[in-house]
Each structure stands twice: as structure tokens, then as C-alpha cells.
Chains A and B, each alone.
Chain A
Amino acid sequence: MLEVKYEKSKGLTDTKLSYCPGCAHGIVHKLVAEALVELDILDRAIAIASVGCSVFSYQFFNCDAQQAPHGRACALATGAKRVLPDNIIFTYQGDGDLASIGIAETIHAANRGENITVIFINNAIYGMTGGQMAPTSLIGQKTTTSQDGRNQPNHGNPIKISEMFATIEGVAYLERVSVYDPKHVLNAKKAIKKAFQYQKENRGFTMIEVVSTCPVNWGMTPVDAMKWAKSDMEPVFPLGIFKDKGAE
């Protein structure tokens, strides 16, 4: 008899994901969906989709959803959470969305200790608009708007969101993870689950930064992209737990 070894998570709808083959967005969607199902919070979850490649995530997560203007996801999440404190509210944002246009909304939501969870996909580039420089792009990284490579005098250094947010009192849990091999995927899942668990316990603002990939706009195969995330991104964006109020 055939046995089902792998099933799509009930936390995802049947809509086909719109991500490019080998893009880490798909992996992270699965981890978030599994966490919501395992914690039994899917039916009271509200996903806030941002603007970027994940703009359609409101069609993918199998829960209620709102689609935010570019950068404003944490404001929508705040507005909704304040009137629905018993719901589980999370944003899913890219680095252009969170670290550039939406930095104010994100910092202040964190500073207020909004009891929401932010899934932050750092792929060091603007994916959806075709590979422009992001605030997280690495020094030397060639993008369509930094064709000779990002340089510090002109563009500044890549912005380190987790390091910055670790200084904010309202943050209850903050970890930077990656998904470039099964071991790291398992750890990312654990981190995402913990963030939602903290939200369930009303502990405050939780954020998981995922060092992600954009094989298409990096001009790499998915495998090489995973390698580059490890070899080039990780030294600039070291993995680890930056804040854990539960452990203090």
C-alpha cells in the first residue's frame, strides 16, 4: 500500500505559490504554516502581506489576511492587534519593505512591544521590482541600481536589522536564521514556532529574520544561491538569538 510521506501543510491554501523555483520564500511559507498548525492558532491568525515578491502571501496562508501598502505591514498589524488582542497577527515582509520604506513602522511597533510576529525575509535585494539595491545589499554586490557593486561612501553599509532591534526594550524574541540546509531549516522552524508561542503568551514583539535567497536576481542557480547566502551573507548577517526575554 502507498503511504503518504509528505503532505502540504494545512496552513497553506491550494493556491500554487508564485515564487521562482528554488526561492527560499517557499520554504519559509511552509515553516510559518506548519508553526500555525502545530500551535493550533491557524483559525485565529491574521496574515499581513507586504509589497514585494510575497505580495500574494494573502492567497497562500490558509487564514484571514490583509494586504498592506509597501512598508506599512506593522502599522496594519498594530491596528488590528489592538482591537483583536486574542487573535494571532503576523507580518511577512521583505528587506525593501521592512528595512527601507517601512523601517519607521517596524521600529515603533517593536518599541511599543506590539504583541505581533514579524517574519523578515532578508535576500539582500529588491526581488519583485527586478533586482535593485536593497538597504541590506552587501558591499560589492552588483544590482541593477549598483552596477559596479554597492560601495560604502555612496550607499552606506548593509543595515543590520536584528542587531538594531536587539537594543529595543519591547522586543521579546529576536533570532536570525537561515534555510540553506536541512539543519538550518529545522532551526528556523523552531525559531518561528517560538516567536508565535511568545505571541500566544502575550510576551511582546517577536521577529525572525531569515537570511534568504533570490537566485533569479542574484543570477545564480538555486544551489549556488544557497551557497552564497552561507559564504557571503552570513558573515555580514551572523545567525543566532539576539534577544530572548523568556531566557532572561
Chain B
Amino acid sequence: MARVLMKGNEAIALAAIKGGVDAFYGYPITPQNEIPEYLSKHLLANGKVFLQSESEVSAINMVYGAAGAGKRVMTSSSSPGIALKQEGISYIAAAELPCVIVSVMRGGPGLGGIQPSQADYYQATRGGGNGDYQLIVYAPESIQEAVDVMKDSFNIADYYRNPVMVLVDGLIGQMMESVDFDYPVKERKLPEKDWATNGIINHPGRRNVANSLYLDPALLEQHNFKLQAKYNQIKKNETRFELVNFDNPEYVIVAYGTMARICRSAIEMLKKDGIEVGMIRPITLFPYPEKAFDQIPKKAKGILTCELSMGQMLDDVLIANNGRHKVGFFGRTGGMVPDPEEIVDAIKSFNERVVK
């Protein structure tokens, strides 16, 4: 397939089909509606399942049922809707079921607005659900990267038996770009889904159960140790980031998704002004690319965290930096998207932006 011009949300939907999705369950919310709209047409036409649920609470629990049945299943939503899904996400993570959740962030808190935002970083990486669980979180910066990540996400989810979140903002969802759907995904030897609750007829002699209840605290602790070991594996194997203009940077920006795109332009503008600025662009938010921070030159003057929020990834930057450099913050929020010039100014006035 040659490159095609597509809207972000539709490209994500098509990539899900290429990734082998069997079923979609979701509830309408702006700015992600093109995902279910596209899938409603194309999944049903191909004998797959599409169902508009009565709520996000229901949608994520339908995902639980279908994931437990051993199928490739996804949902998509935006900020207040993802908030409602947190209960189900915690159960799915606890029961170790694979699924993919697309989160197209809009401004918050509350009903907030419908313009692009990155204020759901905590929601994605810290979760609103109960207990010690983690999602594998991808934060692509372009439609092409969203497509590539989306295609791979079902394999990752199946491989680790863990929910994967693809986190974009409304800008990536709504803009158009030319994309190629044919880049190959990494080959993974996927284990048989011998745990699927699809009837004993499909696995004679064994009852399969999808469950998250362990009333015995000793057993529940063991279960948590097992989950933690898996998250450590994921940290070891799946951490992804990109280093931009990292030859000899005077300052380093840390930004992901749409904000990273804006920072790319700012970095070019700063170059013209004779200021070399590098960028760490996390592609996975969990696992967070802490190791990338080891590559920041000792003599760098500081790290500027740039987000479409009041400073959420900033926590992870501070942890990863571990006191080595001055850390500053620049953020716009509520759906306001900065021009590259604002980032240029923020670097030039770095000392006023230092938080630690």
C-alpha cells in the first residue's frame, strides 16, 4: 500500500484492523469519535464485532469479557471517558488479560474542553484504578508513529498479557498526514492463549478462570510479586525513546507527543540563534526512559520539561534526573497549544523556569 492521506483517528482505527483486532467496544466522546465511526463500518463489514456500549464503564467491562475469551479487543475514549474506565482497567490488569485502550486526551479537569491536552499523563501512567498495576503506555508524536505503535500493540498486549494504552492528544487525532501502513511490526513469538475462558470444550480437562480476587493476603501478595516481575521485564525490554539533536546540547528538552513536534521546530529556530538544544522524546511513558537521562552531557545547563499540562511528566523527569541538572518547566493547558516561539523564549529564559 502506498502512502495515503488520513485523519489521525481514522488511521489509528485502520491500524487496529491491520493489527488484527477482533472486537471494539466503546462509547462516543469528542475528540475520538472517528475511531468508533470508522471501525463500526469496517469491522462489521468484515464479520468482526463492533458494539456501542451504554457507557464507558460498560465498554471496558465488555473488553474484559472478550479479552478473557481470548480475542484481540480494544476500546477508545477521551479524558472523562478514560476516567470511567479505570475500574475495569484495574480488573483487566489484575486478571492479566491483553487489550488495547486508545486515549485521545482533551483538556480537563471535569468536563473540561475538547481541545488537545496532555493532562492525562497521571491517568495513563499512575492510573485511577485501584492497586499496584501498570499499563504499557505509548505516546506517539505523529500519525505514522501512532499507526506503527497501534499495529504492534496487540502483539505486545498478548505477549505480556497486559493492557496497552496508546496515548495521543486531540491534535494527533484530528489532523491529517500521509501515512504508510506497511512498515513491518517486530516479530514476536506469541504464547498460545491456553488460559482463554472459551469453554472447556476448547481445552478439555481444564477449567479456565479470569479472576482478580485473592482473599488470602499471602496469595494476593504473591500475585502482586508476579505482576511486578512482569512490569520489570517490560521495563527491561520495551522502553523506547528518541534522542533529537543530542551531539552536544547546551540545554535538553523533554517532551512527548504533540509537544515534542512543537519542540522540534523550536530546536531548529534555536539552532539559528546559535543555541544547541537536544530533546529526549519518550515514546513509552511506562516504562519511562530513565536511562536516556544518563546521556545528557554533564556540562548541559539544564533540562526543560515541556507539556500540554501543568506539569505531570515533570515528576518522572525529576526522578530520572535524580538531582544531576537543573530542571525547568514550560506548559500550556486547557487546550491551548503553544507556538514554537514560546518554547524558544522558555529556553532563553530558562533560569526563570527552574522548578528544582
A residues engaging B (CB < 8 A)?
Answer: 13, 42-46, 48, 55-56, 58-59, 62-69, 72, 75-84, 87-88, 104-105, 107-108
Task: Identify the interface centre among A13, A55, A62, A75: most chain B CB within 10 Å of its CB.
Answer: A75
Contacts of A55 in B (CB 8 A): 213
Say how far A74's CB is from chain B's closest CB, in angstroms.
8
Residue of A nearest to B204 (CB): A43
**23 pairs from A and B in contact (CB 8 Å cutoff):** A13-B207, A43-B199, A45-B199, A46-B197, A46-B199, A62-B207, A64-B207, A65-B208, A66-B197, A67-B209, A69-B61, A75-B65, A77-B65, A78-B51, A79-B73, A80-B69, A82-B51, A87-B199, A104-B55, A104-B58, A105-B57, A108-B54, A108-B58
Which of the four size classes fits the interface of chain B? 35 or more
Query: Nearest residue in B to A61 (C-beta to C-beta)?
Result: B207
The answer to whether the Cβ of B158 comes within 8 Å of any Cβ in the partner chain is no
Set of chain B residues within 8 Å of A107, measured between Cβ atoms: 54
Cβ A83 vs Cβ B61 within 8 A: no
Most buried by A among B58, B59, B61: B61
Question: Given A43-B200, A78-B51: A72 and B71 within 8 A (CB)?
Answer: no
Main secondary structure of the interface of A (DSSP, over half): helix
Assuming A65-B207, A69-B88, A75-B61, is B66 touching A83 (CB within 8 A)?
yes
For A84, list chain B residues within 8 Å (CB).
69, 198-199
Which residues of B pack against A, CB within 8 Å? 22-23, 25, 49, 51, 53-55, 57-59, 61-69, 71, 73, 87-88, 91, 95, 197-201, 204, 207-213
Q: Once the chains bind, are B55 and A68 in contact (CB under 8 Å)?
A: no
Contact check, B197 vs A65: say whether CB atoms are below 8 A apart. yes
Q: A66-B68, A82-B23 are in contact. Are A72 and B197 (CB under 8 A)?
A: no
In the complex, what's the smallest C-beta–C-beta distance from A92 to chain B, in angstroms? Answer: 14
Interface centre among A45, A46, A48, A81 (most CB of B within 10 A): A46
Interface centre among B59, B65, B198 (most CB of A within 10 A): B65
